[in-house]
Amino acid sequence: MIEMLEKGPRLAKAQNAEVGASKFCPGCGHGMILKTLAQTIDELELNDKAIFGCDIGCSLLSWNYMNVDTVQTHHGRTTPVIYGVTRANPDLVGIAYMGDGGGLAIGSQHLVNAAVRSENLLIIVANNTNYGMTGGQMSPTTMPGQKTETTPYGRDCDVTGRPAKGAEMVASIADPEKSFVARASVSNLRKLKSTFKKALKNVDMGGFSFVEVLSVCPLNWRTNNIQTWDRLKTMEEFFEVKEFVQREGLE
């Protein structure tokens, strides 16, 4: 046991062993998503081809998390920055990582343009139903009735509109012959890994991939462990977890 503690946790090669403990709050979903992504990069042996972009929001705390070339940009611009890189270097496998605010609010036009043009990258949106980094305000995906800093009585859809369903929106505009579009959840990391595998293989084949991951933000939700996982279950009832678009030949 002591030997294990001295050795520290087993990290994927695609994780940066130099940085010590991650900067995410205890129990945050970002760490689970990124660790799974790093394991997938290892398993597909994409370590020398992957380029990782993180956005503003808590996703930016991953700027030194991955042991692959990384760039950080602001407000959903991670998407055009990464497909700019892959347009210039088609052999690279581009990954743009962001929150639901970055992906579906301020960066939504980039998401739409990337999807309709089948840009060659994987976009990952970590959906924790709030603006995490800035203190838990309502985001496009805040659920009906959900209390946030800016909806203290619960989200009223008559006033704010309905929550954005990113995966369904992207699926409706993506080219089925070139795309992979799915929603996964941190409640099942094995399934998340197989989803990331298909998404990254599709990018390596020159296609466009989008994966929305239902995530948790215990800090701003003000939830203990049990409440956090109960809330995630409620999210899974509202946001369907499935593969929406899968190009032929992708396994």
Ligand X SMILES: Cc1ncc(C[n+]2csc(CCOP(=O)(O)OP(=O)(O)O)c2C)c(N)n1
H/E segment holding residue 187: none
Q: Is 28 in the site for ligand SF4 (CB under 6 A)?
A: yes
207-226 residues near ligand SF4, rule: CB under 6 A: 217-220
At closest approach, how far in Å is the CB of 4 from ligand SF4? 26
Q: What character string, x for contact with ligand X (CB under 6 A) and - otherwise, covers 125-144? A: -x-x-xxxxx----x-----
33-72 residues near ligand SF4, rule: CB under 6 A: 58
> Who's near 20: CB < 8 A, 6+ residues apart?
none
The entry of ligand SF4, ligand X, none that residue 102 binds, CB within 5 to 8 Å by partner kind: ligand X
Cα 109 to Cα 74: distance, rounded to the nearest angstrom: 14
Asked if 247 contacts 176 with a C-beta cutoff of 8 angstroms, the reply is yes
The entry of ligand X, ligand SF4, none that residue 218 binds, CB within 5 to 8 Å by partner kind: ligand SF4
Among 31, 80, 102, 163, binds ligand X (CB under 6 A): 102
Burial class (CB in 10 A: 0-12, 13-18, 19+), 249: exposed
Q: What character string, x for contact with ligand SF4 (CB under 6 A) and - otherwise, covers 116-135? A: ------------x---xx--
Cα 172 to Cα 90: distance, rounded to the nearest angstrom: 26
Q: Is 99 in the site for ligand X (CB under 6 A)?
A: yes
Between 115 and 217, name the residue whose CB sits nearer to ligand SF4: 217
Cα 104 to Cα 139: distance, rounded to the nearest angstrom: 9
Cα 32 to Cα 37: distance, rounded to the nearest angstrom: 9
At closest approach, how far in Å is the CB of 34 from ligand SF4? 11
